[in-house]
Structure 1
Amino acid sequence: MAERAPVDAHSTLRNALKLGGSLLVTYVIGFGLQVLVPRVLGPDSFGQYNWANGTAAAFFILSALGLDVYIRKEVALRREHASEFLGGTLLLQGVLAVGLLGALLVMMRLEGTPPEVRALTLALGVYQFFFRLNAILAAVLHAHEKVDGLSLAHILMKCLWGFGLGLALLLRAPLPWLAVPFVAAELVKTGFLFHLTHRHAGLRLRMDVRATGAALMTALPFFINEAALATNGRVDVFVLGLVANTKEVGYYGAVWGIAGLTMLLSPILGWVLLPMLSRAAASSEEEFTRILRRGLEGIVSLSVPVTLALALGAETWVHLLIGEAYLPAAPVLRLLAPIFVLTYVATVCASWLMAANRTWTVTRTSVLAAGLNLGLNLVLIPPFLAWRGVTGGASATATSLALCEVVVTVILVSAIGSRAWDARSLAVLGKTLGACAAVTAAHLLMGRLGLDSSTLPRGLARLVVDGLLYVSLILLTGAVRKDEVLGLVRLVRNRRKPPASTEPPAAEARAA
């Protein structure tokens, strides 16, 4: 039996900080372009671009095979295992990609999609193949806790992508050219990641039919779960474009880009948390539960204030970031904002259940949510369009997604039961919600007293007051403890120094 790697919270946190640092750089570039693209293209052309991106991603859900999640769980315990199946799965993915591109082309011709949108969608399909392949290679490095080169790869890829897309926008290139930087950046990243996995993880691509089949069967629940999760974020865009129009897709996609700011930690959770929980489950039941509770507590503390700021300042953020042309979509941003707290909680709970070998619980929940989301979109979009007119379809899609996230979160938390929370985390949750209620009341009162969001300076001033009040309340009530914040700052500052103790401090436990 292979030797089990011990749970090293210091190493895990250092890896999270490295990945977080690289993600911060890439998010700055990505977010800058995410607000520039809708500004330059306008709602109509941006709607076509966003529909092409969402449709390509929806079709290529099938190409991931659930391997990245499987690798983080299994290769974290058996580090040589990746070489046994990746050669065979890579071949299968290539065959699937060709078939999916063909199916995508047939569908668009039957729907009468304009030629330039067809070309853009097919090119983005190629991008999706390499994007998902790179996620699998990155998972091998996460499982081996070798993330230094991976952090560099994120930055280089995003710089290449950002420069190319910015140049295409500057030159007012036709829509299909917007996909070229995506494909080029992922191709470069693929070559770099193959080098890193060979060097740091000893990865060798070889054909082993039995090992490949066994890996695919074990990864099946991960695959179904991942496909269902991706369906919630991609198929709704595809359906919105078909049932409503691409302009609605433009409004929805533009404010989704703003709301995506709150998902900065999502990749880190997926990359770091599941391997850490898998090792904890194999070595210490007490540690396994502790990571879950402190993870939920920390994620609520971090995500709630950002979500609150988005919801209260929806008009201000839309005006500031993507321009007045998208102001009708501000209510859609307000509907999307609470989703991300739920998504974070569900992600932590799902990782714990997977590490506890209850993967099918997560999978069934995700499949239920995917079916519910599709059905709600089909039912709600037509009446919302009649009721709200412009952005009615986008509002229906946001409402559908919010309802699905509520269902998913309730089911996953219930599946874990009392192990998910203790008195400390429930106290933090209560204090945080109380602070949110107080800030919301103050925000509405300022509007009644004349400090409204009719102009950008007034809206920003109102948000600054909201932020100061929130920080004051959480510190006064102890929802976030000052000693833990200072401890985390010291840990970040000294992250290159060896840990002085084998027992992780409370701040590190919260961050993990």
Structure 2
Amino acid sequence: MDAHTTLRNAVKLGGSLMVTYGIAFALQVLMPRILGPTNYGQYNWANGFSGAFFVLSAMGLDVYIRKEVAVRREHANEFFGGTLLLQVGLALGLIGAMLWVMRAEGEPPEVQALALLLGTYQFFFRLNAILAAVLHAHEKVDGLSVAHVVMKCLNGGGLVLVLVLGAPLPWLAAPFIGAEVVKAAFLFHLTREHAGLKLRLDVRSTVTALTAALPFFINEAALATNGRVDVSILGLVGNKTEVGYYGAVWGIAGMTMLLSPILSWVLLPMMSRAAASSQEEFTRILRRGLEGVVSVSMPVTLALALGAETWVRLLIGEEYLPAAPVLRLLAPIFVLTYVATVCGSWLMAANRTWTVTRTSLLAAVLNPVLNLLLIPPFLRWLGPAGGASATAITLAICEVVVTVILVSAIGSRAWDVRGLAVLGKTLGVCAAVTAVHLLLGRLGLDSRDLVRGLARLVVDGLAYVSLILLTGAVRKDEVLELVRKVRDRRKPRAASGPPPSEARAA
């Protein structure tokens, strides 16, 4: 794998994601304010409910493609047509199942309509993830970056229009469906042009690919339990207002996951190539990847946790202040998620996919059990946002279990002396900044006042940067080298033949 190509692709994808996440963040702020906790809770419940069903339609193919098509460029043509036909049939069945469950539960007609429409959106979203995986495997991401931005602009503009016009609840799904349909048409064009993707039916190859993708499929379905089913349970056991609280602060916390798609899109193909060529490079990518995600995610997580009340008051309004403790509970989860993502990618590239799958299945069982046990008593003990707090605690427990198991499965190869030193120094700096934050509170910078709360966070940030550079947890020379590589990413490479990945594919 050419590291410079990987860096350029990561920068391109990261640039487009910065734009799309900026639009998404604006929507995450706008929607809760306009809809209020109850209506926003109904929207979040419908979105989580449809997502939990339609995770089945992806069949694990996007992860399988990043792993296998990265080293066998023509492989996608052998199964794509057959799997697409199967996805269409499965989507129709899932729509029917969703309708039956919602009618049995007595959901209001507008919530039923919204969930069914969001199910249609989920089908195209999963299809686009598969098409994007083909482009990632072929290292053709320029058009994909454009597609991300165009899709999010269409989605964001349409959603703002729906909110401003005060359209009925089901209309919230229309911008999502329209944007994904446009994106699907564009990605079909890109995959045909850059990857030579063809629609042909080969039953044997389709069955072979689905069988090989089975562990990825089970893993993805299990992960949906953590990310989707918990919201459905919260809405059924608790109420839709609790879902509104949880969804609103999750929208703030979720912005810390900017790097997650880049890790998924870039890391697995890169690790798969490294595993096929050099075990030393394979381990090096793992260790530096873990070091990098710790360095990047820790300060953002710390800022969310320390300034929970300030962020809620600033971004989504006083109406959601009961959910500030939920944001504080969610904040540490994202460090764990990044570490688990890197370790999971390494294990998959090392052909230990079932290790990842079994771990996800364990979390999938643990999550609903803990939610069912914790939501009712937490609602009684804490009142508003008590159920949301129970769901956040459940998710945190599951992420701790998953991360510990995956890191343990890799063993000593996961961390070297340098990585452990960075981890230890970063945790020490976080503890010191937390002490500074508490001291500032005693000195009068109270988070109950927005201006003072923001001033307190600025001081926290300055303290973090100073300490992180002073302790050497982040190396200035490496930061400058990365900046230099990003700046020079557009310079043409010397014509010394095809990169190793293309030579192997040939």
Matched, 1:21 2:5: no
Q: Which runs of 5+ in 1 are unaligned?
A: 1-6, 503-512
Please name the residue that 2:400 is paired with: 406
Displacement of 1:69: 0.1
Paired residues of 1:435 and 1:474 also in contact (CA < 8 A): yes
Matched, 1:191 2:153: no
Displacement of 1:180: 0.2
Paired residues of 1:10 and 1:499 also in contact (CA < 8 A): no
Deviations 1:372-424 (A, max 9, x none): 01110000001101110110100000000000000000000000000000000
- Partner AA of 2:457 in structure 1: L
Please name the residue that 1:472 is paired with: 466
Displacement of 1:228: 0.7
Paired residues of 1:225 and 1:367 also in contact (CA < 8 A): yes
Among 168, 173, 183, the residue aligned to 1:179 = 173
Among 65, 68, 82, the residue aligned to 1:71 = 65
Please name the residue that 2:377 is paired with: 383
The CA distance in 2 between the partners of 1:316 and 1:31, in whole Å, is 16
Matched, 1:92 2:86: yes
Displacement of 1:499: 5.5
Paired residues of 2:440 and 2:456 also in contact (CA < 8 A): yes
- Partner AA of 1:198 in structure 2: R
- Partner AA of 1:314 in structure 2: A
Among 138, 154, 162, the residue aligned to 1:168 = 162
Matched, 1:454 2:448: yes
The CA distance in 2 between the partners of 1:482 and 1:77, in whole Å, is 35
Please name the residue that 2:270 is paired with: 276
Deviations 1:426-461 (A, max 9, x none): 000000000000000110111112111111100000
Among 106, 110, 132, the residue aligned to 2:104 = 110
Matched, 1:301 2:309: no
Name the TM-score, length of structure 2 as normaliser. Answer: 0.97
The CA distance in 1 between the partners of 2:107 and 2:160, in whole Å, is 26
The CA distance in 1 between the partners of 2:282 and 2:371, in whole Å, is 38
- Partner AA of 1:142 in structure 2: H
Displacement of 1:498: 3.6
Paired residues of 1:54 and 1:237 also in contact (CA < 8 A): yes
The CA distance in 1 between the partners of 2:353 and 2:65, in whole Å, is 14
Paired residues of 2:7 and 2:486 also in contact (CA < 8 A): no
Question: Aligned with 1:427: secondary structure?
Answer: helix
Deviations 1:53-81 (A, max 9, x none): 01000111111100000000000000000
- Partner AA of 2:307 in structure 1: G
Please name the residue that 1:154 is paired with: 148
Deviations 1:469-504 (A, max 9, x none): 0000010000001111111112111110146899xx
The CA distance in 2 between the partners of 1:67 and 1:145, in whole Å, is 17
The CA distance in 1 between the partners of 2:413 and 2:306, in whole Å, is 33
Among 114, 124, 128, the residue aligned to 1:130 = 124
Please name the residue that 1:505 is paired with: none
Identity %: 80
Matched, 1:339 2:333: yes
Paired residues of 2:57 and 2:87 also in contact (CA < 8 A): yes
Please name the residue that 1:267 is paired with: 261
Displacement of 1:227: 0.8
| Number of equivalences | 496
Name the TM-score, length of structure 1 as normaliser. Answer: 0.96
The CA distance in 1 between the partners of 2:14 and 2:102, in whole Å, is 38
The CA distance in 2 between the partners of 1:292 and 1:257, in whole Å, is 29
The CA distance in 1 between the partners of 2:226 and 2:2, in whole Å, is 34
Question: Aligned with 2:199: secondary structure?
Answer: coil
- Partner AA of 2:239 in structure 1: N
Please name the residue that 1:62 is paired with: 56
Matched, 1:145 2:145: no
The CA distance in 2 between the partners of 1:177 and 1:459, in whole Å, is 37
Pairs within 5 Å for 1:409-488: 409-488=403-482
Displacement of 1:243: 0.1
The CA distance in 2 between the partners of 1:499 and 1:485, in whole Å, is 22
> For the structure 1 residues 252 and 501, does the alpha-carbon distance in structure 2 shift closer, same or farther, using more than 3 Å as the test?
farther
The CA distance in 1 between the partners of 2:423 and 2:319, in whole Å, is 37
Paired residues of 1:311 and 1:337 also in contact (CA < 8 A): yes
The CA distance in 2 between the partners of 1:447 and 1:500, in whole Å, is 57
Among 212, 216, 226, the residue aligned to 2:220 = 226
- Partner AA of 1:448 in structure 2: R
Among 493, 500, 508, the residue aligned to 2:487 = 493
Farther-moved stretch of structure 1 (132-141 vs 105-114): 105-114
The CA distance in 1 between the partners of 2:338 and 2:311, in whole Å, is 22
The CA distance in 2 between the partners of 1:498 and 1:468, in whole Å, is 38
- Partner AA of 1:22 in structure 2: S
Matched, 1:240 2:234: yes
The CA distance in 1 between the partners of 2:223 and 2:106, in whole Å, is 28
Please name the residue that 1:255 is paired with: 249
The CA distance in 1 between the partners of 2:493 and 2:74, in whole Å, is 28
Q: Which runs of 5+ in 2 are unaligned?
A: 497-506
Deviations 1:60-108 (A, max 9, x none): 1111100000000000000000010010000111011000000100111
- Partner AA of 2:456 in structure 1: R
